Amino acid sequence: MAGLIESAGGKLPPPKPAAAAPGAPDAPGAAPEADESNPAYQAAMKIAMQALYGAGGAKDVAKAIQSASDPAEGLADTAYEMVSIADEKTQGQVPDELLVSLATEILGEVADIAQAAGIEVKGAMIATAMRSMLLRYVTEQGMDASQLQQAMADMDPQALGAELDKMEA
């Protein structure tokens, strides 16, 4: 995946704004929204978008997902690597509270590329990929993933996926 980042170039479409959960931004007592206008976040998104859409990156991403034994893992692995490399290229300047937003946005872009390549991407696949990415991040940071795994055991990717599919429709 590093080759994708390194070889990226050319003009890019601007990143799509992240979709907010219905009613969440203005809900009383809701946590403040993460500031995605942060320059490090924007730089990381630009790096990821260049990798995904410049210099044949989308074709490489589609091939990687198509060749994965599990498409959800293919989505997760591709998006995770993009986030990791973009964060490294910005020298870790992306604030921790924006990393989940960055990962979600990049996962959405990777899913869009997969769909454009003819891979059927359902909400459950995206939910599974996000869970895999979170577990991988926690584990690679040296944290105990057992609590997160326990909390996620109650999450049904099929039910969450059905909700995502409804939002998409």
Q: How many CB atoms lie within 10 A of CB 128?
A: 22
Task: Transcribe 37-91 into DSSP letters.
Answer: T-HHHHHHHHHHHHHHHSTTHHHHHHHHHHHSSSHHHHHHHHHHHHHHHHHHHTT
**CA-to-CA dists, residue 14 to 49, 62, 164, angstroms:** 8, 21, 24
Q: Say yes or no to pLDDT of 128 above 70.
A: yes
- Top-confidence residue, 16 or 154: 154
Segment among 22-31, 34-43, 99-108 with least mean pLDDT:
22-31
Mean pLDDT of 46-56: 92
- Separation CA 165–CA 127 (nearest Å): 11
* pTM of the predicted protein model: 0.70
pLDDT tens readout for residues 34-45: 678 999 999 999
pLDDT given at position 12: 35
| Chain centre distance of CA 32 | 21
pLDDT given at position 96: 85
∠ CA 64-67-70 to the nearest 5 degrees?
100
- Separation CA 93–CA 113 (nearest Å): 27
**CA-to-CA dists, residue 105 to 5, 67, 99, 115, 145, angstroms:** 17, 23, 10, 15, 23
